[in-house]
A and B are shown apart, each in its own frame.
Chain A
Amino acid sequence: MTGRSEDQRGESGARLFGEPMNASELKLWFAQEVLPLEAALMQFLQHNWRNQSDIADLRQEVYVRVCEAAREAQPDNTKAFVFRTARNILINRVRREHVVPIEAVADVDALNLAADEPSPDRTVIARDELRRLQSALDRLPERCREAVILGRIEGLSGREIAERMGITESTVSIHLANGVRALVDAFFAPLADRRGKP
């Protein structure tokens, strides 16, 4: 527990590390401190786990575990905590399932996790990110892409999209759900990961 006195000040938000978080604090912490690590986390998981179809499950397990723990006590170094949790999850699975030798799991301490590393300022005019989204959009199946563009860029409602495209509302729902997932995956993906870039 770090005890810098100014951490205890302030009418809201300021608190000591190691204190429990309520639901909205947890959500904010997850969105602002954990999710920005997703690109690095995915690389870590992909690198250290043979079966790539498990990656989505592993990522989810990491997220659930760190949130469970943070609900009890906010970790003081989120990045180190996330990667340590990821490593432990991999090791646990290895032990249970005997799938890969333990040595295959990289040493987290070798990952060079700087404490309290400030997140880089995100200049929103970020061409790379935009290009990544564009290519994610391009990779969607045609009808799905059409629905997403009408909804996201033209600002139509689900019902209007159904009318415009002449398809049922439930089909529009499926297209939109798939499109949302693809765009969000692209948003969090590692920069190097640009399959099918234009």
Chain B
Amino acid sequence: MSNAGENIMPLGDAKEIEAAAADWFQRRRFWNWSEEDQTKLDSWLEESLAHRVAFWRLETGFEGTERLTALRHPHFGTVAEMPKGRWRPILFRTAAALIVMGAVGAFAFRYEEPAPVEKAYTTVVGATKEIKLADGTTIELNTNSKLRVSIGRHRRYVWLDRGEAYFQVAHDESRPFVVTVGKRRITDLGTKFLVRRGHEQVEIAVSQGRVRLEAADEAHTFAPVELIKGEVVVANDKQIVVKTKTPKKLADELGWRHGVLVFDHTTLADAAREFNRYNEGKLIIEDPEVAALTIDGTFRSNNVGLFARAAKDLLGLRIEVRGANTVIMR
């Protein structure tokens, strides 16, 4: 599979291509961008794989720098780091403008949104529910979850009070789709994403497009983070960690939409925790050594018995049924 190929690429090309890619990139990022511009960029990208690779690299790297600085930028590119004194007026002016805009924004926000009607959806343990909203958005609610929806003229709001939901949002620039999960708020930027609310943490996985994550209230503010396809953010009270997941891993996590749980080197402890979200009869593993064993496979989320038998046969364990619960042991 290692084919460096017979024809060697000419030296000196890369810098030119990189410069051209950077020019396209900055035009798209910082200037008015028309459909015609996009068509031109597309045909430049079509010309060669070298063009695409150079452009993808800039896109990915620049998004990376933006995310990094968006999260934590106490000093990045600010007055303190700049040797030149003339930065100050610019920054002050901008700060003033932001404050004014903020005030107007807050006022406009209160004025425009006289609390539209709220609708609540819940699922019991083991059930899932598909909700189709009038705007074309689909929300799939997983086991033991609660969600409230409020569609306003200017904004669409959802609160995930409990559990897990997968969103396929009909994007509408003029009507942002905002999901609030405890102290965090997620704004859709054209997207499919999964939100899981646990006791202490929130997990958001983006399977298509982009979302923005920010604080939902002023008391717990942090700089917004933009997440792109394939990224998963786990946020608890103390920190926010962004990981990337492969498409397969993301598809596995969405197995519940088809009523299955997918395990891939998953510990029995984690597998039991998953099953227990879907079933009233619980899987119990007391022995820590048993809990640390791993298992692979796909199981129907309501078939605890099959899973327990698989653990028995594959890992040489024993099963004991205690009332409604199943205990796995050595």
Q: Which residues on A are within 8 Å of B, measured CB to CB? A: 4, 6-7, 9-15, 25, 27-28, 30-32, 35, 54, 56-57, 59-61, 63-65, 67-69, 73, 75, 81, 84-85, 88-89, 91-93, 96, 119, 121-126, 129-130, 133-134, 137-138, 142, 148-154, 157-159, 161, 164, 172-173, 176-178, 180-181, 183-188
Known: A28-B229, A57-B11. Contact between A35 and B1, CB under 8 A?
Answer: no
Main secondary structure of the interface of B (DSSP, over half): helix
A63 adjacent to B65 (CB under 8 Å): no
The answer to whether A119 touches B244, judged by C-beta atoms less than 8 angstroms apart, is yes
Bound complex: CA of A178 vs CA of B23, how far in Å? 8
Given contacts A6-B298, A133-B69, are A153 and B54 in contact (CB under 8 A)?
A: no
- The answer to the question of B30 belonging to the interface, with a C-beta cut-off of 8 Å to chain A, is yes
Please name all residues of chain B whose beta carbon is closer than 8 Å to the beta carbon of A172 when the two chains form the complex. Answer: 30
B239 located at the interface, meaning its Cβ lies under 8 Å from any Cβ of chain A in the complex: yes
Interface size on B (CB < 8 Å)?
A: 79
Closest residue on chain B to residue A62 by CB atoms = B4
Chain B's closest residue to A84 (CB) is B2
Partner of B62, one of A68, A137, A154, A183: A183
Q: Which residues of B contact A15 (CB under 8 A)?
A: 248
Q: Find out whether the CB atom of A69 lies under 8 angstroms from the CB atom of B1.
A: yes
Query: Interface centre among A27, A35, A64, by most B CB within 10 Å?
Result: A64
- Chain B residues with a Cβ under 8 A of chain A: 1-5, 8-9, 11-15, 17-19, 22-23, 25-27, 29-32, 49-50, 52-54, 56-62, 64-69, 71-73, 75-78, 81-82, 84, 90-91, 94, 207, 225, 229-230, 239-244, 246-248, 250-252, 254-255, 258, 262, 264, 296-298
CB A74 to nearest CB in B, in angstroms, measures: 10
For the complex, what is the distance from the CA of A144 to the CA of B258, rounded to whole Å? Answer: 52
Q: How far is the CA of A71 from the CA of B8 in the complex (A)?
A: 19
Are B50 and A60 in contact (CB-based, < 8 A)?
yes
14 A-B pairs in the complex with CB atoms less than 8 angstroms apart: A11-B258, A14-B247, A14-B251, A60-B18, A65-B4, A85-B3, A92-B8, A121-B241, A124-B67, A124-B242, A125-B72, A137-B81, A154-B94, A177-B25
In the complex, what distance in Å separates the CA atom of A172 from the CA atom of B2? 42
Closest chain A CB from B64 CB (angstroms): 5
Contact, CB under 8 Å: B4 / A157: no
Kindly provide the distance from the CB of B76 to the nearest chain A CB, expressed in whole angstroms.
6
Cα separation A93 to B10 with both chains bound (whole Å)? 11
Chain B residues, Cβ within 8 Å of A84? 1-2
Whether A180 and B230, one on each chain, are in contact in the complex, defined by CB atoms closer than 8 angstroms, is no
Q: How far is the CA of A129 from the CA of B64 in the complex (A)?
A: 10
Chain B: CB-nearest residue to A23: B52
Q: Are A159 and B9 within 8 A (Cβ)? A: no
